[in-house]
Amino acid sequence: MIPEIGHFLLIVTAALALVLASFSLCWGRATEAYVARLTPALANLMACGALLACATLVYAFISNDFSVAYVAHHSNTHLAWYFKVAALWGGHEGSILFWTLGLIGVTAMVAGKRQQPSHFDCRSSHILALLSFGFLLFVLLTSNPYLRLLPQIPIEGRDLNPMLQDIGLILHPPMVFLGYVSLTVLFAGAITVLLSRGQLQQHVDWFRSWNLSAWCFLTLGNLFGAWWAYNELGWGGWWFWDPVENASFIPWLISSALLHTLYLNRQRNAQILTCLLLSLAGFSVCLIGTFLVRSGVIQSVHAFAADPNRGIGILLLLLSAIVPALIVFAIQAPRLQRSRALPSGSSHWLLMIAALLLNTAAISVLLGTCYPFIFNVLGLGAISVGAPYFNSVFIPIVSLCAALLGWINLSRAYWNRKAKLMLAAVVASAAWMINLCQPSSEPLWMWQGFAAAFWLGSSLFIATIAHAKRARLSLKLPALVTHSGIAIFILGATVLSNFEQAAMVKMGPGNGKVVAGFTAIYQQTDRLQQRSYQAMQATIRIENNQQETLGYLYPQRRTYIDDLSEMTIAGVHHSPLSDLYLSMGPALSDSEYLVRISYKPWVRLLWFGGVIGAIGGGLAWRRARKQSTQSEQSMQGSSLC
């Protein structure tokens, strides 16, 4: 009975969303003041209904109600309770429901964040309610998580996918979906500005606050996803340019570009149309990525729910959101206030070029992701686009962005042109010397990576000292911290990609192998039996050059009882910056296994850099939120109710 209550609550929530969305018909009419008073109450009712509906599904997981098809397919009685809760977003139906819950939640936040919401708040919440109604229709008609398996109820569930039984499932998907939700708010805000013919600069702090929220969530989501892949998949890689990975990375690039254009708008009232178009593009690429990885048109190791019928539903949702938005933009854009031109060669002009490069990177990654699908549709056969394409396109763009950001930071430190050029020459020479002294399969990429990291890091260090001397450090701290995290990340990715050492060896008891100064000695193999899987576990001793024991690693080769799928659990020896990564392959004889030993130099800089960047984004969000509140208070005279 509980799942039926959840289903009913979802239907009621959809009806409330449709009613709230219909309030947009009252814009500019005498009845708008009346419906504005009802908007917060209806939005809160929607949020309560969606939250209770999700709670009933979580209850079905906790109580092992295998009569619910979604629970039977993604859980069993042996699954830990926290994975049962996380299983809510572990499959297609639940993940879309979670996304919808977040969307309805921000609708209530936008509608009722103040006792006296403005025209802009109410109207934005009406657009969000319309989008929520579309998502709810999609859930109810094509992806209903409350369907029953009656009368044949299984005694035991199929279990959650073994690769999902990791803390990454608890951290990564919620962060990505919350990032998507924040971009949806920007989409609604842009539509509101266009339809109301308002001025973007009046609400720029509101846009900056929500975009920083999206940027922080997507940064952490992508970082946790990379860390999850590194630790869980057993390959030792952290980024594979997979369509599912790109689906969350492209919105991050769009959000990064929007951060800089919103800054230009706030400082110089520039880039008005660009800000609005990027606000529309952020949510649009979220839907495009969802369509690509959930419709089956593109194959991915991470993809799920490859159902053509659901793909059609997502496509209809995509078209019904993007096409009207572009039509509104085309009609209303010429009627908006003109932007101020930026002086050529100024720091603001260079910042605009950096934002343009980020947009170019997003388009390039999107084209590379869609190219196999386009090639197949045109009847030209099958083609695979892999890391060589993405590296050849993306790395030069990142290097140019780092060069521009470094130059801008030096400008703000009041360095003259000659000093900047001298520093650039020193950094380029140092990077080139490293390139000549160290062997690499991709020397051009290595040179660009080191030059970008050293140049950006040096300019940020100089700018930090200059701002501290002028007592302006607190004002510039969020940007300095964020860009420092990016410089650290670039350095870590460059070192890891070019200086990793690996060996595939046949190992059994008594065998050893030296990699990067570490000696891995295979001691024994043990058979483990758990409720859901059985495993062969190796015990490998790690020694340094002085033959001192550093520790023991226990890589596993698991076979899951339910579907006989196999999975590698890596053993990792951590040092302050680097890792020794061991994964256990298939058996070669009764006592010998294929073992991959990898030395991952400076891999920790990836995680450190990502976290530092997210901290900087959080500091910027806090400041933008404060500024948004102040600007709202100054506009109280134009409130509706």
Query: Confidence band (pLDDT; 50, 70, 90) for 298?
Result: low
Instruction: Please compute the mean of the pLDDT values over residues 15-42 and round it to a whole number.
Output: 91
Helical pair 387-412 and 347-377, crossing angle rounded to 10 deg = 170
What residue type is 102 in one-letter code? Answer: G
Determine how many CB atoms are found less than 10 A away from the CB of residue 535: 20
Examine the pLDDT at 640 and tell me if it is beyond 50: no
Query: Confidence band (pLDDT; 50, 70, 90) for 307?
Result: low
Q: Is 607 a member of any domain? A: no
Examine the pLDDT at 483 and tell me if it is beyond 80: yes
What residue type is 448 in one-letter code? Answer: Q
Instruction: Please compute the mean of the pLDDT values over residues 99-113 and round it to a whole number.
Output: 93
Examine the pLDDT at 303 and tell me if it is beyond 60: no
Q: Are residues 412 and 424 part of one domain?
A: yes
pLDDT at 373: 77
* Percent of all residues in the chain with a pLDDT value above 90, rounded to a whole number: 60
Question: Looking at per-residue confidence, does 340 or 437 come out higher?
Answer: 340
Query: Confidence band (pLDDT; 50, 70, 90) for 357?
Result: very high
Q: Is 421 a member of any domain? A: yes
pLDDT at 300: 58
Residue pLDDT, tens place only, 525-534: 999 988 778 9
Residue 174: both structure tokens together: 């919620």
pLDDT at 429: 79
Domain final residue, candidates 98, 132, 165: 165
Rounded Cα gap, residues 71 and 417, in angstroms? 64
Residue pLDDT, tens place only, 454-481: 999 999 999 999 888 887 888 889 999 9
Domain final residue, candidates 114, 143, 165: 165
Structurally, the chain folds into a number of domains equal to 4
Q: Are residues 521 and 458 part of one domain?
A: no
Q: Are residues 259 and 407 part of one domain?
A: no
Contact in structure between 150 and 34 (CB atoms under 8 Å) = no
Q: Is 475 a member of any domain? A: yes
pLDDT at 580: 95
pLDDT at 297: 67
Q: Is 462 a member of any domain? A: yes
Q: Is 640 a member of any domain? A: no
Query: Confidence band (pLDDT; 50, 70, 90) for 116?
Result: low
Q: Are residues 159 and 59 part of one domain?
A: yes
Cβ burial, residue 70 (10 Å; 0-12/13-18/19+): buried
Q: Are residues 533 and 439 part of one domain?
A: no
Contact in structure between 200 and 231 (CB atoms under 8 Å) = no
For residue 577, the 8-state DSSP code is S
pLDDT at 296: 67
CB half-sphere exposure, 166, CA atoms < 13 A = 19
Residue pLDDT, tens place only, 227-252: 998 988 777 788 888 888 999 999 99
SS3 content of the chain, % helix, strand, coil (to 5): 65, 10, 25
* Percent of all residues in the chain with a pLDDT value above 70, rounded to a whole number: 95
Q: Are residues 245 and 320 part of one domain?
A: yes
Q: Is 620 a member of any domain? A: no
Determine how many CB atoms are found less than 10 A away from the CB of residue 478: 20
Q: Are residues 319 and 191 part of one domain?
A: yes
Q: Are residues 175 and 111 part of one domain?
A: no
Residue pLDDT, tens place only, 496-552: 998 999 999 999 999 999 999 999 999 999 999 887 789 999 999 999 988 899 999
Question: Strands 549-553 and 556-560: what pairing?
Answer: unpaired
pLDDT at 187: 97
pLDDT at 436: 66
Q: Is 626 a member of any domain? A: no
Residue pLDDT, tens place only, 585-609: 889 988 899 999 999 999 999 999 9
Q: Is 356 a member of any domain? A: no
Residue 36: both structure tokens together: 């504005």
Examine the pLDDT at 118 and tell me if it is beyond 90: no
Contact in structure between 559 and 534 (CB atoms under 8 Å) = yes
Lowest mean pLDDT among 107-121, 187-201, 351-365: 107-121
Residue pLDDT, tens place only, 424-445: 888 887 777 777 676 666 788 8
Q: Are residues 143 and 43 part of one domain?
A: yes
pLDDT at 641: 41
Q: Are residues 447 and 419 part of one domain?
A: yes
Q: Are residues 492 and 391 part of one domain?
A: yes
Q: Are residues 102 and 20 part of one domain?
A: yes
Residue 333 domain boundaries: 166-340
Residue 519: φ, ψ to 5°:
-110, 120
Question: Looking at per-residue confidence, does 449 or 640 come out higher?
Answer: 449
